[in-house]
């Protein structure tokens, strides 16, 4: 007998940070659409001159391109440019989504801070960089959870919230104070929320990706150093893909994952140590 994940048909999923071509967010959004969800996609409206070269050559259009993929699967897609660091923007997003779709059953908080000048020791870390990372990762996740959990409770349909964290919250490597601290706090928020929302039939879990082959890590290259990193630290012998993370998210949203809550699941190929600052 074949095992098929169920519980998606006619459900509404919202995925933040879903606009990059080689990304976790796009994979999550399209996977949930394939499972049967209509999907709300958010992004920051990144200017095209900041796109990676492969996106430029492909004529990529951020969340609009992902929306086209979802519509081609026969599902509805709504795109909204939204800033998770701004609680007013988050409330406006919630109002827009509820006006268009009436509900959200699956909230996937995937938006994360870009790599900047934050990957350095605490004693030299600019306060502005600490604030930038915390505002996007931790505060943004809090604002989204707060706004949408209120509506999920009122809707009395249950649902699932998935917070995307990182292996870095376990490694706690030198030079990653802002990023790792924000994600470690997200892991705590995930567990706390699961205790608060469980009586409303809302499950809250975290997914913590390891080394994932996305455009976010293009600064590391894909040559000998990358291959050596994979060989040295990932027992399963390959970097992860966006689909690897998306499959974990889908399971946690499914009826088959309906008795799992308050967990932070590390999806990392068995990653074993700390090779680089800020990977």
Q: Which of 143, 179, 266, 271 is catalytic?
A: 179
User: What does each C-alpha distance from 225 to 22, 61, 219, 232, 235 come to in angstroms?
Assistant: 20, 31, 12, 10, 17
Closest residue by Cα to residue 208 from 268, 135, 139: 268
- Phi/psi at 118 (nearest 5 deg)? -80, -15
The sheet with strand 159-164 has its strands ordered as 77-81, 38-43, 12-15, 106-109, 159-164, 202-209, 264-267
* 179 classed as catalytic: yes
DSSP for 89-128, please give it: HHHHHHHHHHHHHS--SEEEE---PPP-TTSS-GGG--HH
Label residues 41-63 b or e (16+ Cβ within 10 Å = b).
Answer: bbbbeeeeeebbeebeeeebbbb
Catalytic residues: 179
């Amino acid at each position: 007998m074949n095992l098929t994940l169920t519980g998606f048909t006619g459900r509404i999923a919202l995925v933040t940070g879903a606009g990059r071509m080689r990304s976790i967010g796009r994979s999550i959004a399209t996977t949930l659409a394939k499972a049967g969800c209509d999907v709300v996609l958010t992004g920051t409206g990144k200017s095209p001159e900041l796109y990676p070269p492969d996106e430029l050559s492909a004529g990529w259009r951020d969340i609009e391109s992902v929306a086209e993929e979802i519509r081609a699967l026969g599902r509805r897609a709504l795109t909204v440019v939204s800033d998770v660091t701004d609680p007013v923007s988050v409330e406006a997003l919630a109002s827009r989504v509820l006006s268009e779709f009436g509900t959200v059953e699956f909230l996937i908080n995937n938006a994360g801070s870009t790599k900047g000048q934050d990957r350095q020791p605490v004693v030299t870390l600019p306060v502005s960089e600490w604030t930038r990372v915390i505002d996007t990762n931790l505060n943004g996740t809090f604002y989204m959870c707060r706004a949408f959990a209120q509506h999920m409770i009122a809707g009395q349909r249950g649902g699932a919230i998935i917070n995307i964290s990182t292996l870095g919250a376990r490694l706690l490597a030198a030079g990653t104070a802002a990023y790792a601290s924000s994600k470690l706090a997200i892991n705590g928020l995930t567990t706390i929320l699961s205790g608060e929302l469980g009586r409303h039939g809302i499950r809250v879990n975290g997914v913590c990706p390891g080394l994932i082959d996305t455009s976010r890590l293009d600064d590391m290259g894909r040559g000998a150093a990358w291959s050596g990193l994979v060989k040295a630290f990932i027992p399963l012998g390959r970097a992860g893909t966006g689909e690897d993370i998306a499959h974990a998210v889908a399971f946690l949203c499914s009826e088959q994952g309906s008795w799992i809550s308050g967990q932070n699941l590390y999806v990392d190929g068995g990653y074993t140590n700390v090779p680089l600052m800020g990977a």
